[in-house]
Amino acid sequence: MISKLHFFAVFMIGASMCLNISCTVSAGRNAEPERTGNRQNQVDYSEHKAELLQKLESNPDDAQAYIFLGLISFKEEQFEEAKKYFLEGLSLAATEDEKRAYMIVIDSNGSQFISEEEQSFFQKAHDLIEQRRPEEAIVAAQSAIDINPNNAMLYYEIGYAYIELRNFERAVFFLEKGNVLNPVHGNIYQELKYCYTELGMLDKSLALVEQYLIVFDSNPHVFSELAYSYMKAEKYEEALDILKHIMEEFPEYPITYLYFGQLYGEQLNDTDRAIENLNHFLALIEGKTEISGEGYSFSAEDTNATRMEARKLLEKYNP
C-alpha cells in the first residue's frame, strides 16, 4: 500500500509539473501568506482536459482525474466548474490520507498571492480587523481583490469585515465567491454558514453543510450542523436520520443527545426520549469546562450555554 508521505510527494510533484501550481496552505485568520508568480492563464490545457475526460469514461471513479480537471478549470477561470470537479474528486478519494492530499492541493491553489502589493493590502486588512476597524479593512481588502480577484483568502477577509459591521448580505456576497475559489476553506465555511443562519437562508445553509460533508465526512460536528439545519427547516425526519447516524458512528459526541432532546421534546412530542437524551448529554459533559474532540471544540462559554439549555429543557419536560 502506498504510504501517505509517498503519495503526497508523488501527487504534489505531478500537480506542480502539469499545472505550475505552487504550494501555499491557508490557515484561517492567522495564516502567513506565501507569494507566487503571476498565473499563466494563457496556456492551452484543452488537450490535457480531453485526455482526462476520456480517462473518466473508462474509469468514472478516478478521483485524481477529477482533481486535475478542477485544477485545469481553475486555470481557465471556470471556477464553478473547478469547484464541481474538486468536490467530485474528494468524494471519490479512497482513503483519508488521499483526501487530505487533495485538500492541500485545492486549498493552496485557491489561496495564492501573486504580488507583494496584494499581500501588503491583505495584511493591512487583517491587522485593521484585529484593531476593530472593519470599514478601513474593507477598503484594504478590496484593493487586494482589485489586484488579484482569484484569491479566496481576500474574500474571507472582506467578508469577515462585513460580519463585524453586521452587514450579512454583503458578507455573503464575498464569502460565496471565496467558497467557489476554495471549497475546502474551513473558515469561509463557518462564516458563510453563520451568515446564512442570521439571514434565515435555510436552503442555502443546508446546501453548504451538505457540500462540506464531502470534505469532512468523518467529523461529527459537521453532521450535527446538518441535523440542526434540517431542524430549523422543519425537516424533522431528515434531522432524526442524521442524528441516528451520528449516534451510531460517533457515540461519544455529546451534542447529538442535546439535539435529540430538543427534537423529541419540541417537535416529536416524545418527552420520555427527550429526557433520556438530555440526561445522557449532561452525563457526557459532566465536569468538563469545554466540549472538545477530534475535529471539534466548543468554548467554555458555549459549553456552559448548552449545559444550561439542557437543564432548562429538563425542567420543562420533567417539572
Mean pLDDT of 266-292: 94
Reported CATH class of domain 4-109: mainly alpha
- The HSE-up count of residue 108 (CA atoms within 13 Å, CB side) is 20
From residue 287, give the alpha-carbon distance in Å to each of 186, 255, 258, 283, 304. Answer: 30, 16, 17, 9, 11
**Residue 278 exposed, middle or buried by CB count within 10 Å (0-12, 13-18, 19+):** buried
Q: Which three cell numbers stand for residue 317?
A: 419536560
pLDDT greater than 90 at residue 14: no
Residue 226: band (very low, low, confident or very high) from pLDDT cuts 50, 70, 90: confident
CB atoms closer than 10 angstroms to residue 245: 15
Write down the pTM of the prediction.
0.75
Query: What are the phi and psi torsion angles at 292 (to 5°)?
Result: -150, 155
* Mean of all residue pLDDT scores within the chain: 87
Mean pLDDT of 12-26: 42
> Among residues of the chain, what percentage have pLDDT more than 70?
87
CA–CA separation, 111 and 21 (whole Å) = 11
**Residue with cell string 445522557:** 280
Contact 155, 145 (CB under 8 A): yes
Residue 15: band (very low, low, confident or very high) from pLDDT cuts 50, 70, 90: low
Return the CA Rg of the chain. Answer: 22
Q: Which three cell numbers stand for residue 128?
A: 485593521
Higher local confidence (pLDDT), 83 or 202: 83
Higher local confidence (pLDDT), 230 or 118: 118
> Among residues of the chain, what percentage have pLDDT more than 90?
67
pLDDT greater than 50 at residue 39: no
Residue 225: band (very low, low, confident or very high) from pLDDT cuts 50, 70, 90: confident
Which tens digits make up the pLDDT trace of 119-158?
A: 999 999 999 999 999 999 999 999 999 999 999 999 999 9
pLDDT greater than 50 at residue 213: yes
Picking from 5-14, 53-62, 212-221, 308-317, which range would have the lowest pLDDT averaged per residue? 5-14
Residue 170: band (very low, low, confident or very high) from pLDDT cuts 50, 70, 90: very high
CA–CA separation, 28 and 242 (whole Å) = 28
Selecting from 1.25.40.10, 3.30.70.20, 3.40.50.300, 3.30.470.20, what CATH number does the domain 218-319 have? 1.25.40.10
Domains of the chain, residue spans: 4-109, 218-319
Q: Which three cell numbers stand for residue 126?
A: 487583517
Contact 310, 281 (CB under 8 A): yes
Contact 157, 129 (CB under 8 A): yes
CA–CA separation, 182 and 33 (whole Å) = 15
Contact 31, 112 (CB under 8 A): no
**Residue with cell string 485524481:** 64
Residue-level pLDDT at 206: 86
CA-based nearest residue to 185, from 29, 7, 13, 23: 29
Residue-level pLDDT at 197: 87
pLDDT greater than 50 at residue 33: no
Which tens digits make up the pLDDT trace of 229-268?
A: 888 888 899 999 999 999 999 999 999 999 999 999 999 9
